[in-house]
Chain A
Amino acid sequence: MECDNSTFLIDKKAKVIDDSIKVPALLFVLSSAGWLVAGTILLLIGSIRLTNPGFLSGCEYFTYGKITDAQQSMWAYGWACNVVFGVCLWVIARLSGRKIASSSILLVAGLFWNLAVTIGVVGIFKGEYTGLSWIAFHPAVNTLLLIAYAMIGVWGIVSFMTRTNRNVFAAQWFILAALLVFPWIFSTASIALSDKMTLGILETVIHSWFVHNYFALFLTPAAVGVAYYLVPKFTGKAISGYSLAPIAFWALIIIAPWGGGEFLLGGPVPMWLQAAGQVSVLLMVIPVGIIVYNIFGSLFCRKKGVCACAIHPFSKFIVFGMLGLIAYTALKGALVFPEINAKLHFTFTTLASEYLGFYAFFSMIMFGGVYFMLPRLLGKDWCSKESILMQFVFSFTGIIMLVFFMLKSGCIQSQYVGQEGNVMQALQGPLRGQILAISLLLISHIMFLGHCLCLIASALCPCKALCHDESKESATVNA
């Protein structure tokens, strides 16, 4: 493919910003893709273990519990956090019209972050972990992560505070909120959980408070922010119904923190906590409804008679991500009703809702964000749009199948409540389906990593240095 730089060099100011964040963003994107692939491999091993318990079972490092916790941590801190750092910092710098002041600190902090995640994962395999889902790392590793985060997240906040653009966009509030919420909930939860006096139910409540907020106030606003940034770029028009966006933002910020009790329904916790969780989950319909209305209202513009989402190749990631958000909110909402919860609470259905939120919603939008960002950073377009379409199809099919088979497993499990000892036999069919679905996801993620590597390699390749140098020149001239 020809080197088509013209589309990416229109705005000289944007080029300066892009160059300031280029190297750290590449590190974040590459490491996030690497963790995603590694986590998916573990997910595959774990799901094979469920149908073939002999697989790898003689080895203490690979018990099922360790595999699932390591996989979850790789996805939560390896993939999700890295990709948020890469994409969201770039979006907020671009919208604020401010370059990242010290990309070398950002780069070093990024290396530290990934080092800490590696230590944490090794710790899990060695048995040094908390066993709490989504915050499984040893408390010492959490400290390392927080130190690294302080040097990463700060650049997003600094570029927002010193912004030169007079306008402030919805994408900025959401991303700023995500960047502020993560250190708050992560430090509070890890300090409180490692306290020796945190015993019994208190520990469980803090844990569920963290997990709920990690999803609702870190992953959700980060992905929503990226969607609010990308959609106007795709359609060339402002977000429709934009005046509602502040309501969505504040509704999310006010309603979401009160959740957490929904994970403990029927458990040994007070009723008021469970009720607060139920109400919070159901009220999420308000912010989610507005967000979906904004995004879909802009993408499916009826005026021209053409669906705007068909115009840009990457807008399908946003469309599917938003459908994922709707499905996530709906399934989570359904699960808080006591009759349904009593049957489905401890089954794969709960996992299905997590995958809808984490993957179908968050990860899909982030794929779109990375595909949009990298060509602009490197000044080089993707070689093969068809290959990206293939990756979308694999992810799309994989996650739909995975959720379908998890829901099916959940329905079978609900018939065996109280006699779980016999359920695995009946679950073998859907569990094999899950293996197939996860294999599709693995192919998709390897393709994603491959795409990023290919683009970076082709941008750095000396034979095509001409385009690269030109872009650098223009950047220095305008610096």
Chain B
Amino acid sequence: MKNTAFIVFGVFLALFLSWKGIVSCGIQKQFLDLSPATSSLDANGNNLEDEPTFPEVHAGLYAMGKDVYEELGCVSCHTQQVRSGDVALGLGKRQSVARDYVFQKNMQLGSLRIGPDLTNLGLREFKVEGKKASFEDWMYLMLRNPRILDSQNFMPSYSFLFNVKMRMAQKSSNTLVFPENSTFSPDEGYEVVPSRRAEALVYYLKNLKQDYELPEMKFTGESK
């Protein structure tokens, strides 16, 4: 153990082998051809013609919304992965697999569930005051201040994503609809409207869903 070169070489070799083994010869090689696929394949293992391939390619508003999601650090509390055991708990219809994330840069997989898993957020049903509400109506209120919907909710509010402005004769098309007599409603004559970033974020969140089958992973359960 007196030879410097021996120690230096040993350390480098150990790290190099693990990088080779895990990353370049392992994952990179195994997933070299990973690309969107149709839900089932033909006899030769090719995608079926005339059928949609999954995961879908999103662009524009979705990418902008993902940026907002990253910037705000939502990943600190929310995961975006359904493990095999999670299917029985109703987090999704099937387990998440590598192909689901094939297009994603800066994956927001997450490692802590202080809040719920968001893999299939876009598939959930929402209620405001016991009545069925659209995804956007519910999510805007949730982001504006979660206590509007549930006084016991511990998610932080993201009120800076919204603008409060004077109400014109005609209501803005995207104005937030507060529950009646809510203490969080804006003052008389004002309305709360989402900023462009909030719209992008909600569009992104609405498109979080793994509601398709892949050749390697079929539905094994029902999502709640």
Contact = CB atoms under 8 A, between A and B. Distances in A.
Interface string B181-196: 0000000000000000
A347 interface: yes
A2 interface: no
A68 B12 contact: no
Interface of A: 49-51, 53-54, 57-60, 63-66, 68-69, 127, 130-133, 157, 160-161, 168, 173, 176-177, 180-181, 184-185, 188, 192, 196, 198-206, 209, 213, 217, 246, 249-250, 253-254, 257-258, 260, 263, 266-270, 272-273, 276, 342, 345-348, 350-351, 413, 417-421, 423-425
A54 B111 CA distance: 24
Contacts of A59: 160
B73 A64 contact: yes
Contacts of A60: 72, 160
B106 A131 contact: yes
A253 B104 contact: no
A219 to B, nearest CB: 15
Determine chain A's interface SS by DSSP, over half rule. Answer: helix
A184 B22 contact: no
B105 A203 contact: yes
A180 B11 CA distance: 8
B87 to A, nearest CB: 10
A257 B79 contact: no
A345 B79 CA distance: 11
Contacts of A168: 1-2
B154 interface: yes
Interface stretch (B42-50, B91-99, B131-139, B198-206): B91-99
Interface stretch (B27-35, B56-64, B168-176): B27-35
A131 B112 contact: no
A260 B22 contact: yes
A157 B5 CA distance: 11
Given A266-B84, A267-B81, A342-B85, A131 B11 contact: no
Interface string B87-125: 001110001111011111111111111111100000000
Contact of B117 (A54, A157, A198, A420): A420
A419 to B, nearest CB: 8
Given A202-B27, A205-B26, 8 more contacts: A54-B156, A63-B73, A65-B75, A176-B11, A209-B18, A276-B22, A342-B83, A425-B152
B102 A65 contact: no
B157 interface: yes
Given A177-B11, A200-B34, A253-B10, A424 B100 contact: no
Contacts, number: 199
A60 B27 CA distance: 37
15 contacts: A57-B157, A66-B73, A157-B8, A200-B102, A200-B103, A204-B101, A258-B21, A266-B84, A267-B81, A268-B96, A269-B98, A270-B98, A348-B112, A419-B89, A424-B115
Contact of B71 (A50, A127, A132, A133): A127
Given A58-B157, A192-B23, A273-B27, A267 B83 contact: yes
A269 B106 CA distance: 16
A270 B157 contact: no
B15 interface: yes
B14 A254 contact: yes
Interface string B143-169: 000100000111111111000000000
Contacts of A351: 112
B41 interface: no
Contacts of B103: 199-200
A421 B108 CA distance: 19
B139 to A, nearest CB: 14
A168 B3 CA distance: 9
Given A161-B4, A258-B18, A268 B100 contact: yes
Nearest to A203: B107
B31 A50 contact: no
A258 B157 contact: no
A213 B15 contact: yes
B14 to A, nearest CB: 5
B77 interface: yes
B86 interface: yes
B98 A246 contact: no
B76 interface: yes
A257 B14 contact: yes
B74 interface: yes
A206 to B, nearest CB: 6
A255 to B, nearest CB: 9
A244 to B, nearest CB: 12
B91 A418 contact: yes
B70 interface: yes
B101 A201 contact: yes
B76 to A, nearest CB: 4
Nearest to A161: B4
A205 B11 contact: no
A168 to B, nearest CB: 5
B90 A64 contact: no
A413 B83 CA distance: 16
Contact of B27 (A57, A157, A201): A201
A200 B98 contact: yes
B177 interface: no
A201 B156 contact: no
Contacts of A263: 111
B155 A257 contact: no
B53 to A, nearest CB: 15
B73 A267 contact: no
A117 to B, nearest CB: 19
Nearest to B157: A57
A345 B27 CA distance: 22
A65 B81 contact: no
Q: Which 4 A-B pairs have the closest CB atoms?
A: A65-B73, A418-B89, A257-B18, A266-B83
